[in-house]
Chains A and B, each alone.
Chain A
Amino acid sequence: MSPILFELLLRSIWETVLMTAASGLISLVFGLPLGLALIATERGGIAESLWVNRALGAVINGFRSVPFIILLVALIPVTRLIVGTSIGTWAAIVPLSIAATPYYARIAEVSLREVDHGLIEAARAMGGNRWTIIREVLVPEALPGIVAGFTVTLVTLIGASAMAGAIGAGGLGDLAIRYGYQRFETSVMIAVVIVLIILVCGIQWVGDRLVARLDRRG
């Protein structure tokens, strides 16, 4: 591999890490409250409101049912509004975040639903309000699942970011297509695959470690 290609590889790694980290963080910040909202508003939830629940569910399902490559293109006006441009790494973060947020909301919802209803009842019996229940019961008890789900989301984002090459966002996927595939640079292809494997394994390893430390359920 030539020094130029090597430099390209380094830049692509940085772009992929940046896209994954930024959109992962955004999906955590918005997805977790969304997941909480889904749990709180469902039947028997701490803020039961079936109407809100159905509306939220429909919006989430709507975004989740659009293939990412189409979302990427369809969201170009929104991206331009937020970032000022529709091309490049930062521009890709917008559609990536918008795709990952409902995805992560559903994963968080599943973890939160597994919290024993008896614990919520105990907190209510102690005189706790909704905020107490969220802060002291729902989130801490579901934390291992919330972290494990975030790990899955990050790995999924690494895959999705490969498609962001379509709007000139760069990244490892883009490098592999343009150099490894279209220019028959087999060494680039192999290097990208190895880097991706290392990235995914690294994220998964850190995530698993964190979950093991957080899980006190014996």
Chain B
Amino acid sequence: MNQHFTSTVETAEQAGATQQDVVRLVELKRRFGVTAALDGISLTVRKGEILGIIGRSGAGKSTLIRCLNGLERPDSGGVFIEGREIGRLGERDLQPLRRRIGMIFQHFNLLSAKTVEDNVALPLKIEGRPKAERLARAAELLDLVGLSEKAKAYPALLSGGQKQRVGIARALAARPALLLSDEATSALDPETTRSILALLKDINRRLGLTILLITHEMEVIRSIADRVAVIDAGRIVEEGPVWSVFADPRSEITRSLLGAIRPQLPAELAARLLPAAGAETILRVDVAGEAASGPLLSDLATAVPGAFRLVHGGIDHIQQQPVGTLFLSVPGSDANRLADIITFLKARQTRVEVLGHVANPV
């Protein structure tokens, strides 16, 4: 009953809504035994954007991405691809639709018995295209991913990064509207990861291809995603433009995922932190947007006279937006002055946290 109600609403909405949404998920649920892999996920992916979904392993992101091309069936909820509900389609009806969706995988999943060009041409073979056209398209795509000279090689002879390039070329062969990336860089070293991500970004820009990627690495989100959704225990706990989520993470899980790539208080200083007042107070100040581009620290020195030190931190640029974390040390045990500093910083749209105190300054 409830489901019926939801789908009526969706259809009405859909008429007015937009060609912009390549993917729309409505209250998606999927259980495996007693655990809910997806516990009511609603999400849209707009045309031409790169949406990153991040979560720890077991958070439900693999199940989610596999619902988008019908490799996994949700228990309830709607999956709309280019406005079309696919959740209730049979396997046979899903097959032509899947050709509109390319997919790349963590372990590449290239066929070892086929040459690189035959791997790339396989989606077109499945579509029933003539051989000459398949090979021409494969050559074009191998050129795009920079592997033309490997066309006749077998995948076993390629490096991990080259395999993933072949995977990308194969995923693009049938000119999809959407590219799904299932942890595509998780098996690659950092340098190869960067080159693969740069390739994906380039394809996104040049072909206007919509990309949905799942990952457990914030670095991946940081380098190529436009928007990010953080998933935990089958729910989306946070969603928004990447720079704003990085600047102001609201959930604990986001903060911990960000931990790996955000500046942290140096360990030796963190070890000496005391809860009680001491010689110096250590503050963590998260800045973004105007606060990060303006003369924040010199303004602070003018507004609240007295000394303070920058202990650690820096400003990063995400999607052309300055985002950063500064660790300040305020000497003395004057509680009023400390309160003034915090009030000033908060007035400048920063997030301030008193981390603790150190007895003897460094």
Residues of A near any B CB (own CB < 8 A): 116, 118-119, 121-129, 132, 136-137, 140-141, 143, 214, 216-218
Contacts and interface: CB of A to CB of B under 8 A. Distances in A.
Contact of A125 (B91, B103, B112): B103
A125 B69 contact: yes
Contacts of B125: 136
Nearest to A129: B95
B111 interface: yes
Contacts of A121: 71, 105, 109
A126 B122 contact: yes
A136 B111 contact: yes
Contacts of A136: 111, 114, 122, 125-126
Interface string B213-231: 0000000000000000000
B95 A119 contact: no
Given A127-B123, A128-B126, A218-B156, A137 B111 contact: yes
A125 B180 CA distance: 10
Interface in B87-135: 91-92, 94-99, 101, 103, 105, 107, 109, 111-114, 122-123, 125-127
Given A121-B71, A122-B103, A216-B154, A127 B96 contact: yes
Contacts of A143: 113
B112 to A, nearest CB: 5
A129 B114 CA distance: 18
A118 B105 contact: yes
B196 interface: no
Bin chain B's interface residue count.
Answer: 20 to 34
A205 B214 CA distance: 48
Contacts of A126: 98-99, 103, 122-123, 126, 170, 174
Contact of B71 (A124, A214, A216, A218): A124
Given A136-B111, A137-B111, A143-B113, A127 B126 contact: yes
Contacts of A123: 122, 126
Given A118-B107, A132-B126, A218-B157, A124 B98 contact: yes
A142 B97 CA distance: 28
Contact of A140 (B95, B98, B109, B113): B113
B105 A122 contact: yes
Interface string B136-159: 000000000000000000111100
26 contacts: A116-B107, A121-B105, A122-B109, A123-B126, A124-B71, A125-B71, A125-B101, A125-B180, A126-B99, A126-B126, A126-B174, A127-B96, A127-B123, A127-B126, A127-B127, A128-B95, A129-B92, A136-B111, A140-B111, A140-B113, A140-B114, A141-B112, A214-B113, A216-B112, A217-B112, A218-B112
Interface in B54-106: 69, 71, 91-92, 94-99, 101, 103, 105
A129 B65 CA distance: 20
Contacts of B127: 127
Nearest to A122: B109
Contacts of B71: 121, 124-125
B95 A127 contact: yes
B123 A141 contact: no
A190 B90 CA distance: 65
Nearest to A144: B113
B294 to A, nearest CB: 48
Contacts of B154: 216, 218
A126 B134 CA distance: 15
Q: What 8 A-B pairs have minimum CB-CB distances, sorted nearest first? A: A218-B156, A122-B109, A127-B98, A140-B113, A127-B99, A125-B103, A216-B154, A118-B109
A116 B109 contact: yes
Contacts of A127: 94-99, 123, 126-127, 174
Contacts of B123: 126-127
Contacts of A214: 113
B58 to A, nearest CB: 19
A122 B155 CA distance: 15
B131 to A, nearest CB: 14
A69 B47 CA distance: 69
